[in-house]
Structure 1
Amino acid sequence: MEFFQKLYDEHENVNVRFVGFTTDLTRYDFGIIYTSLFFAKPLVVCMQTGRSTLLDPKDLDDTEYLQKVFKMDNNEQTAELIEFFKETIPQSHFETEYE
């Protein structure tokens, strides 16, 4: 480990929510990890593909970002996912000085 500089090594008890649901177009399975790390953004993991991202409500306004992260090319699917996440992802109370 002499070549690495440790940036963080945190242990935290977190809330995890596993959600599976279907729409007319597809099935979704997500793990949502609520943590105080990473600017309090929940870590969202697609259990089918392993793709993951940190999300907060502001990120849900960027349709292209969600399409890129979860590899979706169907706008209707993206709209369904945004609707789900808007009900699921809590409002962040964390403010940064870097905005």
Structure 2
Amino acid sequence: MYVVINELHVPKEGREAVAGRFGESAEKMKNTPGCLDFMFLNPEDESNYQLVYTKWESKEAYEAWLNSDQFKAAHKKRRAESKEDTASGNQLYTYEAVHHL
């Protein structure tokens, strides 16, 4: 199992818009081959970080999604959004699951 956490750096005023866009993505991820779980996480505090958590059958399944037309279309649309409603940066964390319940 492969886990990817994308830490999005989002100004407070843009959080709602970013969360809305990822809500649309969540529905599409249900039909993505190899995707086992998708969560979009809002912080409880005032930090500027929202997290996208995905769990995959394998690293290969994740990489296939990265190279898919679905991924490219979603990120092309994002680039067309206003700067206030997007992440100002991100940090990607990837993990191979060693133990899982």
TM-score class, shorter-chain normalisation, is 0.3 to 0.5
TM normalised by structure 2 equals: 0.32
The higher radius of gyration belongs to 1
Instruction: Pick the structure with more strand per residue.
Output: 2
Higher relative contact order (CA 8 A, sep 6+): 2
